[in-house]
Structure formats: structure tokens, C-alpha cells
Chain A
Amino acid sequence: MENYDLINALILLSNFVIVPALSYGSQLALAALGITLVYAVLRFSNFAHGDLMAFGTMIAILITWLFQSWGITAGVLPTALIALPFAMGLTAAFCLITDKIVYKFYREQKSQPVVFMIVSVGVMFIMNAIVRFIIGPKDRTFFDGEKFIIKAVEFKAYTGLSEGLSIKSTQVLTIVIALITMVILFYFLQKTKMGKSMRAYSNNEDLALLSGINPNKVVMITWIIVGMLATIAGVLYGLDKSFKPFTYFQLLLPMFAAAIVGGIGNPLGAVAGGYIIAFSEVMLTYAYKKFFMYLLPSNLEPSGLMQFLSTDYKFAISFIILVIVLVIRPTGLFRGKTL
């Protein structure tokens, strides 16, 4: 079916690039939002964020198992979605406890941001250990429910095209939940008194104090939001792929790249950065051979895989983008530092 080549090529691209990058980008965006909030309000780079995500996801998995043992499921949706609100609450509490026993001390000392950063590395190791101690370092899949919304075979049968489009339910869930979360977060920051006071505190701490804004409350609310965001991001990533503590630690690089590309401290930047990193990673590691086979006449068929980089190098892409941004536009795409 010569005439459908273009459609086939586009479906191929949606299937392997656009849809996966959108869902991965949403996960990164949520994660980068957490990093950016800590940076804007608490003024340090939180290296423990990846392991915080792992912690939140672990709690969600444990609750999911508990629910499953009680026979509670969400039908076609993953059970983890019912567990998610509980995990968010517990992870937020965990953040507050961490702040109380670790960060608060350094805040009272008025420590330099670099001290906080190193402290966060310490917190990272502790969190990492806690997670491995409780759930182990193994790869775990905790997805249940209906796996696909559109199956490739059914799509082919229905449309008669030679390329099948398959959309996993976790991909759609990720995008929908991420969107809802972002809308709520932006509404909170822009429209509520508490959100505005967080932005004010982030923008001009001294003046915020002079206006009577309570810094302890701002810090507390920030940790609660960060804990919840990290859990959502972690659970969505875990549902979409799988949960492995080490993978979450590795996510730290693309997460930071996303936050910095967008302009660290700027929530809109974190969202944009998440999608930029995700699309770059997926697009540069995808083998375009089949895509060109649809588009080019058969005598021009590419002989190689038409892949820029092997998927083994996907972290190098975040790293390169990070370096380029830091060299050319250190403030990121959007101005940073303030919420």
C-alpha cells in the first residue's frame, strides 16, 4: 500500500518516539519540579531527590501489596493509584522528618548552599540505604490492571495499516496525572495566599520576613509539596517501566538537566526542561531505519540503523545538554532562581 507510507511512518514515530517521550517527559517534569522548588525556596540543589522518589515509590508499592492482599484493586487501573495518595502523605511526612532532624540544623546555622548540597548527598545515601534495606535492590514490577489502551495488533486490524500503534495505559495515565498535578501546582503557586507567600519568600527572603511571612511554614509547605511530587513522579515512572532503586538514583542526572535547562528555580522551566530532555533522549537514541524505509524510495534504503547514539549512551545526552546550556545560557531558557 504505497499511498499509506507517510501515515505508516508517522505512526511508527508516534509509537516509538512521541508517545514514550511524552510520558517520560512528564515523569521528568514532575521530578524536576521537586528539584526546582527545593532550589527556589530552600536554596540548595537537592541530590537526594532521586532517592526520595525511590522512597515514595517503595511506600506506594508496599501499600499496593497490602491492598492486593486484602483483595482491593482498581479494576482496569493499577492498584498503585489507590495507594498513591497514602504514599504521598507518608513521603511528605518523611520529608518533614528529614528536614527536622537534618536540614533544620543547617538552616539555623545559616549554612552556605554548598554545605546544604553536601548534606543532601549524605541524606541521599541514607535514603538509598533505607530503601534497599526495606524492599531490596531488585527490579520490581508492581503494575496490574489493563496494560494497553490501544494494542498494536488491534490497531492494524482496525485500520489495515502495516504499522501498529500501541499505547500503554501507563503512558496515558502518566500524561493525564502529570497534567492534573501541574495545573494544581501552578494554581496553588499563582492564586493562593500560601503559594504567593512561597513565591515572595523565594524572591526576597528579607522582605518576606518583614511582611510577616512565617519562614517555617513556607519551608514546611515546600517539603510537603516536594514529597508529594517526588512520589507521583516515582510511581508513574515505576508503573511505566519498573521500580529499581539504582535506576531512580541514575535519574538524578536527567532530572537536574531538565531543571537547569529550563532555568533552575522556575517551575515553568522545569516542565519545559523535562520534555526537552525526554525528547532529546528518545529522538537521539531511536533507530530511524524503518522510518526512512517508509519515506524513501526502495533504492535509497539506508543501510545502517540510522541511529545517532546507542541507547546505552542515553545519559550522555542529558549530560551534553547540561554542559551546552551551562556554557551558552547558564540561567536556562527561562530566568531562574525564583518561583
Chain B
Amino acid sequence: MSDFFCSQNLVGGYGGENILNDCSVSVNKGEISVIVGPNGAGKSTAMKAMLGMLQLSEGKVFLDGKNISNLSPQDRVASGISFVPQTMNIFNELTVKENLEMGAYLRDDDLSETFEEMYSLFPILDEKKEQLAGELSGGQRQQVAVGRALMTRPNVLMLDEPTAGVSPVVMDELFDKIIDIKKTGVAIIIVEQNAKQALNIADYGYVLVAGKNKFTGKGSELLNDTEVRKAFLGG
């Protein structure tokens, strides 16, 4: 496979029964891949497996052609993969600025340029940089969370349901930001409940069912596929 970041035929779970049964996801620089599917399909699990947070019995993960299947999550973060968990994705007792600083913990170089980039991408963070992150609204917190993950200047950004629990307006705003981030050349993988909207911005879509790739294709193709529409997008 020539994809920048990809997983092949993942099988595994958290002990006991397997959650992933032959699941493959990949993404290229400057593209967005979206994982959708019904509840319990193993969408988030697939993402966590790619970060190394899961014991895999089969399957491999490649970054830029290198097999990283045996690296710990910390080492994968250090090699340029950032992850935004669905919940508890900010340091709520730290200020917004400190959150971003902690995102860049592994970097020893000058951060001022990256801070400028973050503040121009998320102007609200500049405004509230001295405020505790826990005091912000839901949408603003998500921006802190994504900002923190971007501080390492990653090649790959993985977002686990970034729009969960935010209003539709904020959701559109977040998707716009994600497209802005993609344009900087970052490879983005998103797990989403809001399948329609997510496939709209996706270059590539993966529909998982029971831990298995059911449908794979370009975002627009999946949106127009009658079978996918019927089963997952509500007609």
C-alpha cells in the first residue's frame, strides 16, 4: 500500500471477544478519511488500534511505509500521530494556553510560530488563552482539544467523534476548521456519528459493521450509494 498512514486487516479487542474483525483504514497527507457505522461497530476501537492502545492479534499499522505496529502509543505520538479522544480531551484545570503548551510537551524548539498558527486557526483561543479550559463552552473546548493535538505539528490527526454533543451550528464550524487543517497537508482520520455531514467533507469513507469493512469508497460515492444510504444514512 502506498498510503501515508494505514492499517491492514486489524483483528483484536480488549481481551475476550474481538471487536475488530479484519478492518483496514488508510489516509493520505492532505486528505480526510472518515469512519462511520452503527453503534458498537468498533469505529473508535479501530482508531485506538491505529494509535496502539489495543492489543492486536493480527494486522499491521504503517506510517510512511514503516511498520509501526510494535510502537507504544507514546512513541507513535512522538513519530507524528496526534489523537483527540472523544471525552476528557482537554486539561480542564489548566488555561487554554497551558493546554496548547502541554500539547507541545515533546518539542524543545521555539513554539511562538505554532502558537500564532493555532490562534489564527482558532481565534477564540487567542481571546481566551488565560482562561481555564474547563470553563469554556462545548464547541470551544473541542477547539482547545484539536489545538492541543496540533501543537506537535503532526502528520496525522485522529479525531474521535469531534462533534459529539455540540450544536449543529458549532458542528459545521468544526468541520470547516477540519478542512482548513487538511489544507495544511495533515492526514486526518475522523470517527463520526453524523455520517452524512462527515462523508460530505471526506475524501475517503469507511463504513464499519461488526468490526469489518462493509463499504469503502470516496466520500461522495458512499453518499450516493443506495445501499449505504438505506442502511446508514436514513434513506
Residue ranges of A at the interface with B (Cβ–Cβ < 8 Å): 193, 196-197, 199-200, 203-204, 206-214, 338-339
Contact = CB atoms under 8 A, between A and B. Distances in A.
B92 interface: yes
B106 A212 contact: yes
Given A199-B94, A200-B94, A211 B102 contact: yes
A203 B90 CA distance: 9
B122 to A, nearest CB: 18
Nearest to B75: A212
Nearest to B148: A211
Given A196-B98, A200-B98, A210 B73 contact: yes
Is chain A's binding surface mostly helix, strand, loop or mixed? helix
- Give the bracket for the number of chain B residues in contact with chain A: 20 to 34
Contacts of A204: 88, 90-92
Given A200-B94, A204-B92, A207-B148, 20 more contacts: A193-B101, A193-B105, A196-B94, A199-B94, A200-B91, A203-B94, A204-B88, A204-B90, A207-B85, A207-B88, A208-B91, A209-B73, A210-B77, A210-B85, A211-B77, A211-B103, A211-B105, A211-B148, A212-B105, A214-B74
B88 A206 contact: yes
A169 to B, nearest CB: 39
Given A204-B92, A338-B93, A213 B85 contact: no
Contact of A203 (B85, B93, B103): B93
Contacts of A210: 73, 77, 83, 85
Given A193-B101, A197-B102, A212-B106, A207 B89 contact: yes
A203 B88 CA distance: 10
Nearest to B51: A210
A158 B148 CA distance: 63
Interface of B: 73-74, 77-78, 83, 85, 88-94, 98, 101-103, 105-106, 148, 152
Contacts of A197: 102, 105
Given A193-B105, A197-B105, A200-B102, A209 B91 contact: no
